[in-house]
Structure 1
Amino acid sequence: MIFKELKNRLWFNIFIRLAAVFAAFVLVLCLSDVALLIRFFSLKEKKELKEQIYAVSRLDLDDANTVIKALSDINEKYNFDVEIYNTSGRILYTTHGSQMMDYFSLKNDKFVMAHEEMTAVKSEQLSDGIVFETAVRRFDKQEFLLCTKQLDNGLTAEVRVQKQLISNSAAVANEFIAIVSVICFLVSVIWVLLLSRQISKPISEMNETTRDMARLNFKRKLKINRSDEIGQLAASVNELSASLDTALTDLKATNEKLKSDIELERQLDVMRRGFVANVSHELKTPIAIISGYAEGLKLNINAESREEYCNTIIDESRRMNKLVLSILELSRYESGQIPLNIESFDVSQLCDDMISRIFKAKKITAENLIPKGTFISADPLQTEQVLKAYLENAAAHTPENGTVKTECKTENGIIRISVFNSGSHIDEKDMPQIWQSFYRGDTSHKRDSSRFGLGLSIVSAIMKLHGHKCGVYNTEDGVCFWFEADSGEK
């Protein structure tokens, strides 16, 4: 299970492949040493034997000191035994046993040493008179590699080395190379492990980042601390993430706006249908009345009835005219065709005038609690229209002996003017709809010559023109409508 999981890791695959390469290299090196190192050492020794036999052949054998020194150097440097002997086998010079005998002492017959004969196993004759032999010494059966050459005056020079020394040197070299190879392999394994983790780490981070991007999470960013291709790729991933984040944010905003526009269009369509239905309803009755009474006049009714019919036609015509004017006024406010004439005026005085006109003949207690000298900055005529709509609405919904009050409060340079009336509450679900055209809070559409359900729609349009808010809320014993205006205090 763990191995299967590791097989899917980039660093593990890099590590296995590089480690396999190093292992193969070490294995090839060790096998090469075992198979070829002894042969290599033998060829090298043969080359050295050949070079030294040439050096011996160039010596002046009459100069004993020079010969002894040269042979001693060869023995010490190459561990070769050197003998120079005549045709009868008598040794003139030798390095065997560390005994150096010069030519003259042997000539005086003080001591005689004979050349040791060996049994040749293999022989190779070269073109320049050099003979290579593999020979076995008789008394201890040791193998030697011999190199001989005929010198002047019938003398023979022989340079030899024990083959066991070559094998020992090769074995030591093999052991050393094996140990060094194992150590290098272990070090290389650790290095490959660290290198593979270093190479795969940024790629793994990019993989996690792109997975987050696939899940539409663009918060994670890659740390860029290198300038090679991987660093450039990380920078490209960050740029792609930022671009996708921006594009997705814009797309979400566009979708939300589209949803809002669709919902607004749907609401406008509903309002348009309702508006047409309400206008049709408001016009249908007076048109029917006018048509009926006009037909009655054609029947030559008596003078008393004729006057009543004419008055009815005039009243219904005036009512229709008022409705059309109200619709046109609302349309002008909503389209912004009516310019604002902003000035500072006393809203308390305006409230006093409006209350005296609207509640003059009504059995309702109406009072203005706005302090004298409360100035607001707004269009006076349109503010009068707002107050008129609020106060007429209050007069229509306040029971006899009820109360209507106008108040105000100031906060951060904004004055909120409230119109309270006692009576029944407005249903919470109806509050957003009372600002719509022709909405009158009941479904019976009872005829009223002065009210069409357009007053609060006009208020909402006027406040939008001023850039301020308006609203309504229920109190403990009634309803309170309000609107805001800039303070007109200097």
Structure 2
Amino acid sequence: MWTRIKHSLTLRIFLMTCGLMIAVCAATYGAIAYLTPLTYTSILQEDLDQKTEALLTALSGREPSACDELLSAFCRETGAALRLSDEYGRILYDTISSEAYLVEGTAERAAITTEESETLEQDAVMQATEAGDATGTAESVIHQITVTDAYISADEAQTFFFRDGTMGHLLVIGGKKAVNQASEAMKKTLPFLALLILGVSLLTSFFYARWITRPIVDISHIAASIAALNFSSRWAQHRTDEIGALGDSLNTLSDNLSDALTELKTANERLQQDMERERDMERQRSAFFSAASHELKTPVTILKGQLSGMLAQIGVYRDRDKYLARALQVTGRMESLIKEILIISRIEAGSFVLKTDTVNLSEMIERQLELDEELLAQKGLHIEKHMASDVTIRGNQDLLTNALDNVLMNAILYSPQGASIRILLDAHTMTIENTGVSIPEEALPQLFTPFYRVEQSRSRQSGGSGLGLYLVRLILELHNASCEIKNSEDGVVFSARFT
């Protein structure tokens, strides 16, 4: 049970509230039970004193024998008991000895008590008379009367003078019956009040505890959801107090944490992608240099063999002029390959600084066709041009010329004798189509891979090193352009799209 109380705020508030309400109600009842008789007695005593003063004033204007009616009316009105005696101690009027509403004791006890009181009073009066105290002041005749619980207190005998000049003594004792009845009524209602207080305390504490702790419990559940990385729970109450501010702050915390985790997840995914891309680039770089080494090894081997044969003057190599020319051709191929490798390396390393200017693509294509005019004539190729005039872009003149040269050379080298080369150019697109040939569909995605050639033999009779299209793609990407190669009805189409 104690463990449950420790772990339940609602239960603790319920018990504290219930205990506090019961304690307050009990203290209130105790205070009422204690103060009511005192207050009621004080009120009755004050009222009785006022009426007694009025009675004394009335008695002062009467003869001793004409006071019975006035005294009877006073007793009926106030419910008090009184005794009137003259200056010699003779009782003129007495209701104290006839009180029949004593709370405790028998009639015999009441008679004894009355007789004792009369004796005490007479003795006091006689002593005062013998002492020559004709005035008989209130201070000299004081009766400490304790009859029973039927009386409020021991009152003083009031001294006054009748109309004929004789002195009288009036003793008034207020009834305590009403006070006792009130106290008794409170005692009788105590069990019912206790049950009522307990029931009201339990019920009120239950609803109060639920009401006061519900927002706190809701906030606790939301916090638990956030701790479990579930950000769907929200604080939906509209409050302007501290609890409402706490709920709103929890919503803000949930949103910020959700955004932070989303950003962290996105950054982690990007990091994974970057790492994977880096691994791919490393693999491609390794494959690239492996292929580059192979591509360079072949012409170097040829060149070495030719030079060795010429130095040794063996067989056909005695004709040095012929094989020196061939060696020069091999050296040119090696130089071209090395230049392409260097450009590719600089672009991939990110160290290449692109210097841009306005490039007229229409004029560039015309110039390149003029340079390739002799080769086109040797193969009997027909050029079909549909170009817009003065198509310009921002780019690097040398790199774009290199890319265009590679594309045109591929179209020329891979086209059969007498085929056509169709060139289309508009503001955003350039296409070059060579007819009479096709590429296997499975080979199309690999055409822009370094050192990839459709002819796996890497024969120099029909193509270059396999770096041309890869370099074209890098150059176009550097200019925010895209490219693709696909088969058409008549041949193969290269397309470049500029943004």
- The equivalent of 2:226 in structure 1 is 213
The TM-score normalised by the length of structure 2 is 0.69
Q: CA deviation at 1:356?
A: 4.9
> Kindly tell me: are residues 221 and 396 of structure 1, through their superposed partners in 2, closer, same or farther at Cα, counting changes over 3 Å?
farther
Post-superposition Cα deviations, 1:65-103, rounded to whole Å, max 9, x if no partner, equal 999889967865xx5323223355541689x99xxxxxx
Residue equivalent to 1:346: 362
Give the 3 Å change call, closer, same or farther, for CA 55–70 of structure 1 in structure 2: farther
The answer to whether 1:62 aligns with 2:60 is yes
| Pair 1:470 & 2:483 matched | yes
Looking at structure 1, the residues matched to 74 and 449 of structure 2 have their Cα atoms a distance apart, in angstroms, of 123
Of 145, 152, 164, 1:131 maps to: 145
Over residues 197-239 of structure 1, what are the superposed CA-to-partner deviations in whole Å (9 max), with x where a residue is unaligned?
A: 4433432342233234224344665468555443443354344
Map 1:87-106 → 2, pairs under 5 A? 87=89, 89-91=91-93
Distance change in 2, residues 1:457/1:361 (3 Å): same
- Structure 1 contact 49–159 (Cα < 8 Å) conserved: no
Q: Does structure 2 conserve the Cα–Cα contact (< 8 Å) formed by 1:14 and 1:196?
A: yes
User: Paired residue for 2:378, among 361, 372, 387?
Assistant: 361
| Distance in 2 separating the partners of 1:290 and 1:223 | 83
Residue 471 of structure 1 contacts residue 482 of structure 1 at CA under 8 Å; is this kept in 2? yes
Secondary structure in 2 matching 1:84:
strand
Over the aligned positions, Cα root-mean-square deviation in angstroms equals 4.7
Among 442, 465, 484, which residue is 1:427 paired with? 442
Amino acid aligned to 1:158: V
Q: Could you tell me which residue of structure 2 aligns to residue 330 of structure 1?
A: 344
Is it true that 1:375 corresponds to 2:391 in the alignment?
Answer: yes
What is the alpha-carbon distance in structure 2 between the residues aligned to residue 378 and residue 44 of structure 1? Answer: 107
Matches of 1:357 and 1:484 in 2, distance apart?
29
User: What SS is found at the alignment partner of 2:378?
Assistant: coil
Residues 190 and 469 of structure 1, relative CA distance in 2, 3 Å threshold: farther
Q: Among 316, 329, 332, which residue is 1:318 paired with?
A: 332
The residue aligned with 1:258 is 271
| SS in structure 2 at match of 1:452 | coil
* C-alpha distance in 2 between matches for 1:69 and 1:395: 152
Give how far 1:442 is off: 5.6
| SS state at 2:357 partner | coil
Deviations 1:267-290 (A, max 9, x none): 221122112211211121222222
CA 1:75–1:352 in structure 2 vs 1: closer, same or farther (change >3 Å)?
A: farther
Worse-superposed segment, 180-189 or 450-459? 180-189
Name the structure 2 match of 1:407.
424
2:158 touches 2:170 (CA, 8 Å); kept in 1?
Answer: yes
Give distance in 2, aligned partners of 1:418 and 1:8: 79
Unpaired runs of at least 5, structure 2:
100-108, 121-140, 160-166
How many pairs are equivalent? 443
Quote the Cα distance in structure 2 between the aligned partners of 1:282 and 1:457.
15
Q: Does the residue aligned with 2:494 lie in a helix, a strand or coil?
A: strand
Unaligned runs of 5+ in 1: 98-115, 136-142
Higher strand residue share: 1
Alignment partners' CA distance in 2, 1:245 and 1:269:
35
1:284 and 2:300 equivalent? Answer: no
Q: Secondary structure at the match of 2:393?
A: strand
Tell me, in whole angstroms, the C-alpha distance in 1 between the residues paired with 2:335 and 2:462: 11
Cα distance, 1:192 vs. partner? 4.8
The C-alpha deviation readout for 1:20-70, integer Å capped at 9, x for no partner, is 43245445656x48xx83x75555565567656766776344235999889
SS in 2 for 1:346: helix
User: Does structure 1 retain, via aligned residues, the 8 Å contact 2:360–2:393?
Assistant: yes
Query: Displacement, 1:263?
Result: 1.9
Percent of matched pairs sharing the same residue: 22
**Any idea what the Cα deviations from partners look like across 1:394-439, whole Å, max 9, x if unmatched?**
344456676653335x6xx6335353654133427x62x5334323
Change (3 A) 1:464 1:229: same
Q: Deviations over 1:166-197 (max 9, x none)?
A: 34323545677887887777776666555444
3-state SS of 1:405 partner: strand
CA contact (8 A) 2:10 2:213 kept: yes
Query: Does the 8 Å contact 1:376/1:485 carry over to 2?
Result: no
The whole-number CA distance in structure 1 between the counterparts of 2:462 and 2:6 is 88
The letter of the residue matching 1:289 is: I
Q: Is the 8 A contact 2:146 2:153 kept in 1?
A: yes
Partners of 2:83 and 2:91 within 8 A in 1: no
Task: Indicate the SS of the match to 1:342.
Answer: strand
Q: Distance in 2 between matches of 1:416 and 1:205?
A: 65
| Structure 1 residue 294, shift from structure 2 partner | 2.4
Q: 2:164 is matched with which residue?
A: none
Tell me, in whole angstroms, the C-alpha distance in 2 between the residues paired with 1:26 and 1:218.
46
Q: 2:333 & 2:359 partners in 1: Cα distance?
A: 33
Tell me which residue corresponds to 1:240: 253
Q: Is the 8 A contact 1:345 1:375 kept in 2?
A: yes
Between the aligned partners of 1:81 and 1:316, the Cα distance in structure 2 is 148
Partner of 1:394: 411
Say which of 271, 274, 289 aligns to 2:287: 274
Rounded Cα–Cα distance in structure 1 between residues aligned with 2:368 and 2:314 = 49
Q: Structure 2: how far apart are the matches of 1:354 and 1:446?
A: 24
Cα offset, 1:349, TM superposition: 4.4
| Partner SS state of residue 166, structure 1 | helix
Provide the rounded CA distance (Å) in 2 between the counterparts of 1:5 and 1:355: 94
* 1:219–1:349 CA distance, 2 compared to 1 (3 A): farther
**How far apart are the structure 1 equivalents of 2:112 and 2:374?**
153
Give the corresponding residue for 2:471: 458
CA contact (8 A) 1:397 1:423 kept: no
